[in-house]
């Protein structure tokens, strides 16, 4: 007995001394895993990022932002402000007023829109806006809204083409998206080689985008918010992004590889609810600060043209606004055309009308809410002496309460009003991130199979790579991730918008034909 | 005068409702119109993968319903001398059965009653829905 009594503490001591360094080593190893991932991925993606965001010669204005603005403007003018003319008709289509009851059981306009929206309403709306406002000042919001309104025309063009030139297979499944409309449309116009080249380029960028913005950025910001609510720098998750990454990757794996659609379906049901909750919470905060709304819009308008002390001035606000809007609503990028192409309709143009609601909901409504909350709650620090925003040169943005950016800034803004809100936000962020990842895994997969053919092994290899990138994304610092996400997604827009310029006369013919038949009463609502 | 039409809401498992309708149809020389509804909402949420496969799935579901539900019933009814037609529809069962009853100018509706689950008690069931809204006499078959 005596020996035993002495033995137990001794064994415990030995065990403890053996375990403690192992734990410490594991933590060291974890830190270094994060750092290694950061350095390596940063080094690989650097040149690509630099090319995409290269400024126009002699200015600080990235050529890619101009590219998107010009694209959206061209489509807006070419289709005669279709986003405003067809807005009411779009809502009518979503309500099913023009759907043939005999087609019940097929994908409805509402479903295509909802699925496409769950792919776009994500962290761009929560974290991206915070980035835009903290770097570009409140004025960035003005440009973001403008970009959202103009982007509606880009979305209209690409989604119409997505349905018109989709592939329908004998078993009834469909595949659509820019790679299909560019190659088919260009072939019809007598440019098969150029079409094939652009389609392949698009597919490559789409795969990169699905790993970047559709995946790594989401995982990264979901992790950031989880760290934030579990104690910030003291959290056990802090610096251990790979833990969040592995868990997220596991769930994504089960859904996209295991085919457990039920998990995805549950998320798809929760996401609209979260979106309503998010907008609702924002509205409550705005309601509580109703007296400041006028002031906030004043800040937004003034900031849009003067910069209010922001380093880049008006141009800085404009660049940030347009960048974040494009990243959030993906207009001109071509991704939504992939999701929208599954709808059942005899009129491809109807899906174009429906899709133009997407940037409106995503950017004009949801992003604006986030921006207003950030501006109104005063988490951006104003220099009392000058009345301008205090610029933190070190961080490259406006100084903020708690010195945070991205999703943490949005969280701080909401916490100003209700201390428990960051928990709700964390849930929303994780779910938004998850549903966006599921959507983008599909977009990327479509591009992947376009390049490598449709087979089980080809699909599986993409899906496994996708899950690996979830872990990498969660482990990286915000800087390299956000840059790479942006670059990959904007690269898609380069190819897609070239395609749209060539193919827009086809959309114009469809539009004219449809509108004249709508006017003559040939197309009319089905009696309920 | 054309034959009276009885609309039968047939879920696919309980034959009692069809049998009772057939007895009455034979007695009154009426024609049966069998409706089988596949529950579907155009406002449900689907993943991109499901969007892609929806058209193919719908074809399969239709074929399965036709083969496993509708065809056996119609064959049996016709063999026993009852004139019968069938229709497979997507949507909300109560709404669609009411709609068909109107279109067919039905004289009677026959509907089966399912298990009284908690969900059915809270949200109502097809038989309760029809009992509340049917424009013609409705027979609920346990």
The pLDDT-based confidence of A3 (bands split at 50, 70, 90) is very low
Query: Of the candidates B42, B45, B54, which has its C-beta nearest A268's C-beta?
Result: B45
CA distance A180 to A196: 9
Interface probe with A: pick from B38, B39, B43, B51, most Cβ of A within 10 Å: B51
Distances (CA, A) of A478 to A40, A49, A481: 15, 14, 5
pLDDT over 50 at A15, yes or no: no
Residue B121 dihedral angles phi and psi, to the nearest 5°: -65, -40
Opening angle at CA A215, ends A209 and A217, nearest 5: 95
Q: Do B45 and A99 touch (CB under 8 A)?
A: no
Contact status of A384 with chain B (Cβ, < 8 Å): no
B105 touches A at CB < 8 Å: no
B133 touches chain A (CB under 8 A): no
Asked if A499 is an interface residue toward chain B (Cβ–Cβ < 8 A), one would say no
b/e map of A216-253 (b: 16 or more CB within 10 Å)?
bbbbbbbbbbbbbbeeeeeeebebbbbbbbebbbebbb
The residues with which B8 forms a beta bridge, in sequence order, are B34, B110
| B56 contacts A172 by C-beta, under 8 angstroms | yes
In chain B, helix, strand, coil percent, each to 5? Answer: 50, 20, 30
Highest mean pLDDT among A85-99, A308-322, A394-408: A85-99
CB contact under 8 A, B49 and A261: yes
> N- to C-terminal Cα distance for chain B?
32
**Range A331-370 burial, b when 16+ CB lie within 10 A, else e:** bbbbbbbbbbbbbbbebbbbbbbbbbbbbbbbbbbbbbbb
Question: What is the structure's pLDDT at A1?
Answer: 39
Over residues A174-197, mean pLDDT: 94
Of residues B47, B53, B90, nearest to A265 (C-beta): B47
In this predicted model, what pLDDT tens digit does every residue of A449-473 receive, in sequence order?
999 988 889 989 999 999 998 888 8
Instruction: Give the residue-averaged pLDDT of A217-233.
Output: 81
Per CB-CB distance under 8 Å, the chain B contacts of A343 are: 51
Q: Is the ipTM of this complex over 0.85?
A: no
For residue A422, give the H/E element and its range. Answer: helix A421-452
Residue entry with tokens 């309500």: A95
Instruction: Indicate whether A58 pLDDT > 80.
Output: no
Q: Is the pLDDT of residue A179 over 90?
A: yes
Predicted confidence at residue B117, as pLDDT, reads: 67
Is there a contact between A347 and A319 (Cβ–Cβ < 8 Å)?
no
Q: Which of B47, B62, B89 sits opposite A261 (nearest CB)?
A: B47
Name the minimum distance, in Å, from the CA of B57 to any CA of chain A: 8
pLDDT, tens digit, for every residue of B83-115? 999 999 998 888 899 999 998 898 999 988 876
C-alpha distances (whole Å) from A52 to each of A67, A194, A486, A528 are: 11, 22, 9, 51
Residue B89: DSSP 8-state = E
Tokens of B82: 């009852």
Q: Residue A105 and residue A107: Cα distance in Å, rounded?
A: 7
Number of other CB atoms surrounding residue A468 within 10 Å: 14
Average pLDDT, chain A: 83
CA atoms within 13 A on the CB side of A257: 17
Mean pLDDT of B16-20: 89
| CB neighbours of residue A73 within 10 Å | 13
**φ and ψ at residue A258, rounded to 5 degrees:** -75, -10
The pLDDT, as a whole number, for residue A13 is 46
The verdict on A265 touching B (C-beta cutoff 8 Å) is yes
Centroid of chain to Cα B132: 17
Please report the residues numbered 74 through 103 in chain B whose beta carbons come closer than 8 angstroms to any beta carbon of chain A: 89-91
Which residue(s) pair with B6 in the sheet? B32, B108
Looking at CA atoms only, how far is residue A338 from chain B in angstroms? Answer: 9
| Confidence (pLDDT) at A33 | 64
Is pLDDT of A9 > 50?
Answer: no
Q: Is B39 an 8 Å CB contact of chain A?
A: no
pLDDT in tens, A124-147: 888 889 988 888 888 899 999 999
Residue at token pair 């489509």: A75
What is the band of B118 on the pLDDT scale with cuts at 50, 70, 90? low
A474: enclosing H helix or E strand: helix A456-475
Higher pLDDT, A157 or A242: A157
**Subunit contact A173:B90, Cβ cutoff 8 A:** no
Would you call B55 and A338 a contact, using CB atoms and an 8 Å cutoff? no
Task: Enumerate the residues of chain A whose CB falls inside 8 A of the CB of residue B92.
Answer: none
Q: Is B11 helix (H, G, I), strand (E, B) or coil?
A: coil
Supply the pLDDT for residue A2.
40
- Model pLDDT for residues B30-81, shown as the tens digit of each residue: 899 999 999 888 887 777 888 888 888 888 999 999 999 999 999 999 998 8
Band (pLDDT 50/70/90 cuts) for residue A87 is very high
Q: Is the pLDDT of residue B136 over 80?
A: yes
Among all residues of chain B, which has the CA nearest to that of A266? B45
Query: pLDDT tens-digit profile of A21-41?
Result: 444 444 455 555 667 766 777
Asked which of A97-106, A240-249, A309-318 is least confident by mean pLDDT, the reply is A309-318
Task: Decide: A500 and A157 in contact? Cβ < 8 Å.
Answer: yes
Percent of chain A with pLDDT over 90: 30
Alpha carbon of B114: minimum distance to chain A alpha carbons (Å): 23
Minimum Cα–Cα distance from A105: chain B residue: B90
The minimal CB distance from B43 to the residues A110, A119, A342 is found for A110
Measured CA distances, A163 to A435, A514, B46, B58, B140 (Å): 23, 15, 18, 19, 45
Q: What is the mean pLDDT of residues A62-74?
A: 88
Look at B53 and A173 and tell me if their CB atoms are within 8 Å.
Answer: yes
Using the beta-carbon criterion (under 8 Å), do A438 and B43 form an inter-chain contact? no
List of chain B residues whose C-beta atoms are within 8 Å of the C-beta of residue A119: 48
Q: CB distance from A175 to chain B under 8 Å?
A: yes
Is the pLDDT assigned to residue A478 strictly greater than 80? no
Q: Given this model, what pLDDT does residue A4 score?
A: 45
Instruction: Produce one character per residue of A54-68: b if its CB has 16 or more CB atoms within 10 Å, e if not.
Output: eeeeeeebbebbebb
Closest partner residue to B51 among A105, A107, A172, by Cβ? A107
Examine the pLDDT at A122 and tell me if it is beyond 90: no
Beta-carbon separation of B58 and A110 below 8 A = no
Element (H, E) at A84: helix A82-85
Of residues B54, B56, B90, nearest to A171 (C-beta): B56
Decide if B54 and A344 are in contact by the 8 Å CB cutoff.
yes
The one-character DSSP state at B2 is P
How many residues are given for chain A? 528
Helix residue spans in A165-260 (DSSP H): 178-188, 192-211, 217-229, 241-256
What pLDDT does A85 receive?
A: 93
Chain A neighbors of B90, CB-CB under 8 A: 104-105
Higher pLDDT, B9 or A6: B9
Q: Which residues of A touch B47 (CB under 8 A)?
A: 115, 261, 264-265, 268, 438-439, 442
Neighbours of A52 (CB within 10 A): 21
Higher pLDDT, B1 or A386: A386
Q: Taking residues A83-93, what's their average pLDDT?
A: 93
Chain B residue with CA closest to A112: the answer is: B51
Tell me what the mean pLDDT of segment A400-416 comes to: 83
CA distance A195 to A457: 27
Cα distances (Å, whole numbers) of residue A441 to A270, A462, B90 = 19, 9, 30
């Amino acid at each position: 007995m005596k020996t035993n009594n002495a033995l137990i503490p001794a064994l415990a001591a030995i065990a403890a001394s053996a375990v403690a360094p192992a734990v410490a080593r594991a933590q060291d190893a974890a830190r270094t895993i994060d750092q290694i991932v950061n350095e390596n991925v940063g080094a690989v993606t650097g040149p690509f990022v630099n090319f995409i965001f290269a400024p126009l010669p002699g200015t600080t204005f990235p050529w890619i932002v101009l590219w998107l603005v010009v694209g959206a403007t061209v489509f807006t003018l070419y289709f005669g402000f279709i986003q405003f003319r067809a807005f009411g008709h779009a809502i009518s289509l979503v309500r099913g007023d023009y759907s043939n009851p005999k087609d019940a059981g097929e994908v409805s306009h509402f479903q295509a829109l909802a699925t496409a929206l769950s792919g776009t309403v994500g962290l761009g709306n929560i974290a991206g806006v915070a980035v835009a406002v903290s770097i570009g000042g409140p004025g960035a919001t003005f440009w973001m809204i403008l970009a959202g309104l103009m982007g509606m025309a880009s979305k209209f063009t690409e989604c119409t083409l997505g349905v018109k030139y989709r592939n329908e297979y004998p078993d009834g499944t469909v595949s659509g998206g820019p790679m299909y409309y560019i190659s088919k449309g260009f072939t019809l116009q007598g440019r098969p080689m150029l079409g094939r080249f652009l389609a392949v380029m698009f597919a490559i960028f789409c795969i990169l985008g699905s790993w970047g913005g559709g995946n790594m950025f989401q995982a990264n910001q979901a992790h950031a918010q989880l760290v934030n609510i579990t104690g910030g720098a003291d959290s056990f998750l802090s610096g251990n992004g790979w833990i969040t990454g592995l868990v997220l990757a596991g769930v994504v794996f089960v859904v996209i590889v295991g085919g457990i659609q039920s998990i995805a379906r549950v998320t798809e049901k929760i996401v609209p609810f979260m979106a309503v909750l998010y907008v609702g919470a924002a509205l409550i905060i705005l309601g509580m600060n109703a007296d400041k709304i006028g002031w906030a819009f004043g800040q937004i308008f003034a900031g849009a043209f003067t910069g209010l002390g922001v380093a880049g001035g008006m141009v800085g606000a404009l660049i940030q606004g347009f960048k974040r809007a494009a990243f959030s609503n993906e207009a001109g990028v071509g991704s939504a055309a992939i999701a929208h192409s599954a709808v059942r309709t005899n009129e491809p143009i109807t899906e174009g009308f429906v899709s133009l609601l997407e940037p409106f909901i995503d950017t004009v409504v949801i992003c604006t809410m986030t921006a207003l909350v950030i501006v109104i709650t005063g988490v951006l620090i104003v220099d009392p002496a000058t009345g301008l925003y205090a610029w933190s040169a070190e961080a490259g943005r406006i100084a903020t309460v708690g010195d945070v950016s991205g999703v943490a800034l949005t969280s701080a803004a909401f916490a100003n009003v209700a201390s428990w809100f960051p928990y709700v936000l964390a849930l929303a962020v994780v779910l938004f991130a998850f549903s966006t990842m599921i959507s983008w895994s599909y977009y990327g997969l479509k591009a992947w199979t376009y390049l490598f053919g449709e087979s089980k092994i080809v699909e599986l290899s993409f899906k496994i790579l996708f899950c690996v990138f979830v872990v990498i994304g969660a482990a990286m610092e915000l800087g390299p991730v956000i840059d790479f996400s942006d670059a990959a997604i904007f690269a898609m827009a380069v190819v897609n918008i070239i395609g749209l310029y060539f193919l827009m006369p086809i959309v114009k013919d469809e539009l004219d034909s449809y509108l004249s038949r709508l006017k003559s009463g040939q197309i009319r609502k089905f009696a309920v | 005068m054309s034959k009276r039409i009885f609309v039968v809401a047939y879920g696919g498992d309980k034959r009692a409702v069809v049998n009772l309708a057939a007895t009455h149809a034979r007695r009154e020389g009426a024609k049966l119109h069998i409706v089988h509804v596949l529950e579907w909402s155009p406002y449900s949420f689907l993943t991109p993968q499901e969007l892609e496969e929806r058209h193919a799935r719908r074809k399969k579901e239709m074929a399965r319903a036709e083969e496993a539900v509708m065809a056996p019933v119609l064959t049996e009814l016709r063999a026993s001398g009852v004139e019968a037609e069938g229709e497979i529809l997507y949507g909300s069962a109560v709404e669609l059965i009411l709609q068909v009853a109107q279109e067919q100018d039905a004289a009677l509706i026959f509907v089966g009653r399912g298990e009284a689950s908690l969900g059915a008690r809270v949200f109502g069931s097809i038989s309760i829905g029809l009992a509340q809204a049917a424009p013609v006499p409705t027979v609920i078959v346990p």
